[in-house]
Amino acid sequence: MENIHILTLDNRKKATITAVSEVLSFSDKEVKLKLNDTSVMLITGNALKIGGFDNKSGNALILGEITLIKYKPKEESVLKKVFK
């Protein structure tokens, strides 16, 4: 089954993201989210805040001046890399 997420960006001030499994790190300049498909979403900007995160539903709300949203692909485990 495919893991689908939805990203809604309102006026570069409010991002609503679904299918978030974990908040990996956050500061007022950068928020790093792990998505259910194990990829990572990186949000950068100014005065960023986590307006809400519901672990059960997987919904996250990021507020502030959003300047960049970037996806990082799934990373292979170290063991898989070693035994290739």
Residue 28 lies in a domain: yes
Q: What rounded mean pLDDT belongs to the chain?
A: 89
Counted domains in the chain? 1
> Which pLDDT does position 1 carry in this prediction?
40
Residue 14 lies in a domain: yes
Report residue 35 as tokens. 């998505």
Mind listing the pLDDT tens digit for each residue in 5-44?
Answer: 899 999 999 999 999 999 999 999 999 999 998 899 999 9
Domain that holds residue 58: 7-82
Higher pLDDT, 3 or 47: 47
Residue 1 lies in a domain: no
Q: CA 35 to CA 38: how far, in whole Å?
A: 5
> Which pLDDT does position 75 carry in this prediction?
63
pTM for this one? 0.83
Residue 60 lies in a domain: yes
Q: CA 47 to CA 66: how far, in whole Å?
A: 9
Helices vs strands, H then E, count in the chain: 1, 6
Nearest CA to 31 among 76, 1, 82, 65?
A: 65
Q: Which domain CATH number covers 20?
A: 2.60.40.2000
